[in-house]
Structure 1
Amino acid sequence: MSLTDTLRTPRGTAAMFVALAAFWGTSFVAIETGLHAFPPLLFAGIRYAVAGGIVLLYAVLTTDRWIPRTRAEWLSVGVSGVFVIALYHALLYLGELNVSGAVAAVVVSTAPVLTAVFASVLLPDESVGPVELVGFALGILGVAVIAAPSSGGFGVASLIPVLLIFGGAVAFALGGVLTRPLRTTLPLRSMQAWTMLLGAGVLFAGAALRGESVAAIHWTPNAIASLAYLTIVSGVVAFFIYFELLDRTGPSTVHLISYLEPVVATVMSVALLGDMIGARALVGFLAVFAGFAVVERHRFDDQLAVARARARLAYVRLMRREHTVQKRGRHDYSETSD
């Protein structure tokens, strides 16, 4: 069996799911490393300018349409570029100047909860009930626990970065909801390429307003490795995997990657940087995850039902195989006896 055939199997899909979580989870650590050498908005802008150019070239070579045409398509590019790429990453990178990648990943994991709540408020086909409000409250409680003042004082220095990152999660969730009604036929990879490029342009504008300069970049080996990893691995390669998983499993399943990312970020922070996530951040993550489980309980039920159905099918196939083997064995024994 070739590698391509292997990747098309359920095991291959699971491996891609884990790889995507690993690539995106590790990106929080790569950002933390790179911010020692890059101004934050310029760092994010360079990352997405290069990644967007590569993805656009891929779209030109592999799709029948790579330029947006309709107003809805350009509006979708604009909303995603501003909210999902520019605002989210600007606030994330600014926050990570003073917060570890592991903690940042925990705070960002509120995005799925925020997405569900924004969808309930802004989209007519979705509604929010008491249970969803409980889930939202748990998510906010998780962030509040992480950002809570330390026992030594008010801790504004640690509070503001967490709030910046949470603001990035809000921007990411809001951007995703606002683009849902904008139905387009533009291939996803083409849409994503233009979104990256527009977001990079907004990030460069923000960097100029902040007075960030290319001259301030320290081109150390760690800085180059961080930028290359974020651009190629967690940018281009990860998004190609993301596109494939969307086609295979749909957005509901891919959504769950958000809850593997903090685990990966924590492990890599400890292994590579020696960072340790405190008990408070762990409690905060558990609260956020509980909120997500409450809000997305129906999707969890659907995934569990699918898993049970597959297990039953595998069991039936195994029983049939054993029955066939036993029947063949009795037949061979009968012939030998004769």
Structure 2
Amino acid sequence: MNTPTSAPARPDSRTILAVVVTLFAWASAFVAIRGVGEDLSPGALALGRLLVGSAVLGLLMVGRGWVPPTRREWALLGACGVGWFGVYNVALNAAEQHLDAGTTAMLVNIGPILIAVFAGLLLGEGFPRWLVAGIAVAFAGVVLIGVATRSAETELVGVVLCVVAAVTYAIGVVAQKPVLRRLPALQVTFTACVVGMLCCLPWAGALIDELGRAPAASVAGMVYLGVVPTALAFSTWAYALTRMDAGKLGVTTYVVPPLVIVLGWLLLDEVPPALAVVGGAVCLAGVALSRRRTRPRRPVPVTQEAGTPL
């Protein structure tokens, strides 16, 4: 995983659209989980979401063929599926049992820093100065949002669960990147989703029991989480990851916390503090900064001295 790779070209409009779809879908997930979590426990919700996601992705896979993964690719797919789709979802759902959606989104967003570090160390992406600067500025924005929305009700267990989610999210992205060099993005997403779903099967009994008591709105919310933030958003993410460095793509997710706050404002009638709005603007500035490209230095002409052979 440490073979250096050349930096991808500037993303085209399709890649940018894929990133935008991913960010909005994942932002909506934090709000949906908060509501659905009142009726479905963390493990059951993760299993239900991944069952729906696997079914949708499986239908999309029909007729597309299958590229057999190598043994190394299976190991990376397993790491991505267990970490990002399995452990991440359970930890995220459990975190929102203790924290509000906005705080959870901000804490999970230490993930892009870990992605950039892991990608620089393991994928040979290095640490371009604009990427490092963008991470620092965007993280400062997340801190501002955290200060603006901090609450005395914040529980340590929720913070720990967010850290677990962030670490497994970063591991999943870095494991996914090398596999996407040869395998189709849809196949990678489908396989990782199925692996994550299998990891959550111990909660099958809880899911059946809780679905029997859950209101229709919560069941619909679970289906939404499986179709949009999982099947759609993970596919658009994988598409973008084949065309961008993992570190640069990861830092774009700093846009998610301000989006969650806006969605919470619109859907949950939660008015964000003024400082949170400032923090969101700083996040966007950091993302924009990370997208800058270092201009290559022009070679300095060497003056030919008299008598020097050519």
Moved more, 221-230 or 24-33: 221-230
Q: Residues 136 and 27 (structure 1 numbering): CA distance in 2 closer, same or farther, change over 3 Å?
A: same
CA offset at residue 57 of structure 1? Answer: 3.0
> Equivalent residue for 1:123?
122
Task: Name the amino acid aligned to 2:224.
Answer: Y
1:60 matches 2:96 = no
Residue identity over aligned pairs, in percent, reads 25
* 1:72 alignment partner, SS class: helix
Under a length normalisation based on structure 1, what TM-score does the superposition of the two structures give?
0.67
Distance in 1 between the 2:217 and 2:46 partners? 16
Moved more, 157-166 or 188-197: 157-166
> Equivalent residue for 1:242?
237
CA offset at residue 58 of structure 1? Answer: 1.6
* 1:185 alignment partner, SS class: coil
User: CA-to-partner distance for each residue in 1:251-295, whole Å, 9 max, x for gaps?
Assistant: 5664454122222211111211223445786787788778x66xx
1:216 matches 2:210 = yes
From 9, 33, 36, the counterpart of 2:35:
33
Task: Name the amino acid aligned to 1:203.
Answer: C
> Equivalent residue for 1:330?
none
From 183, 193, 199, the counterpart of 1:186:
183
1:16-165 equivalences under 5 Å are 16-62=18-64, 64-65=65-66, 68-120=68-120, 122-123=121-122, 125=124, 139=139, 146=146, 158-165=155-162
* 1:275 alignment partner, SS class: coil
| Count of aligned pairs between the two proteins | 282
> Equivalent residue for 1:300?
291
Q: Which runs of 5+ in 2 are unaligned?
A: 1-11, 296-310
Distance in 2 between the 1:11 and 1:78 partners? 31
User: CA-to-partner distance for each residue in 1:81-120, whole Å, 9 max, x for gaps?
Assistant: 1111111111111001122222222222221111112334
Under a length normalisation based on structure 2, what TM-score does the superposition of the two structures give?
0.73
* 1:61 alignment partner, SS class: coil
Would the aligned equivalents of 1:88 and 1:171 in 2 still touch at CA under 8 Å? yes
> Equivalent residue for 1:269?
264
Q: Computing the radius of gyration over CA atoms, which structure comes out larger, 1 or 2?
A: 1
The structure in which a higher percent of residues are helix is 1
CA offset at residue 60 of structure 1? Answer: 3.3
Task: Name the amino acid aligned to 1:24.
Answer: W
Distance in 2 between the 1:96 and 1:282 partners? 22
Q: Residues 236 and 137 (structure 1 numbering): CA distance in 2 closer, same or farther, change over 3 Å?
A: closer
Distance in 2 between the 1:270 and 1:56 partners? 35
Would the aligned equivalents of 1:142 and 1:283 in 2 still touch at CA under 8 Å? no
After superposition, the CA RMSD in angstroms is 4.0
